[in-house]
Amino acid sequence: MSGGDTEISLRISAGGWELWYTPDCVIDHVIPALRTTPAYLKRLAFGLGISQVLVDALVWERSFASCVGQCARSALRQTLHAAQAVIRDRVRGRDRRPSSINLHFALGNWAGIGRLAFKRSLVGAVSRSSPPQVSTSKS
């Protein structure tokens, strides 16, 4: 639930290293039944919402205030769309679980914005990264 794969990819690329896509690579990902429950999916969506904000902040190249402002505008749009979907599904008697998962993602965005206040140094961190140093000495 951390977005760590995205973060490491950004840092590798910013460090001057190449990233390769290998379409022939096959990964079998076994998902236990516990990770398919609505409660788990809501927690996952919330965590991914937080991660989206923090990873977006890593590559932000303007001011901290503009980063927070852009994240807040995006979170507001997502929250309104998700809330409308939950209400629409309820009025129409539909299953609200899919739309409520989207709402949890949007709420995670808001939590991520809150965390930016404590992790302000993350904003633009990838663009400030220096390439990794490779030692050529044989010590």
Residue 137 lies in a domain: no
Q: Which domain holds residue 61?
A: 4-20+33-128
Residue 26 lies in a domain: no
Q: Tell me the three-class secondary structure of the chain, residue by residue.
A: CCCHHHHHHHHHHHCCCCCCCCCCCCCCCCCCHHHHCHHHHHHHHHHHHHHHHHHHHHCCCCCHHHHHHHHHHHHHHHHHHHHHHHHHHHHCCCCCHHHHHHHHHHHHHHHHHHHHHHCHHHCCHHHHCCCCCCCCCCC
- pLDDT at res. 19: 87
- pLDDT at res. 99: 85
Residue 135 lies in a domain: no
The string of pLDDT tens digits covering residues 99-114 is 899 999 999 999 999 9
Q: Is this prediction's pTM over 0.85?
A: no
> Once rounded to an integer, what is the mean pLDDT over residues 125-139?
56
127 pLDDT higher than 90: no
Please state, for a pLDDT cut of 90, what percent of the chain lies above it: 43
Domain count, the chain: 1
The string of pLDDT tens digits covering residues 47-74 is 999 999 988 888 888 988 899 999 999 9
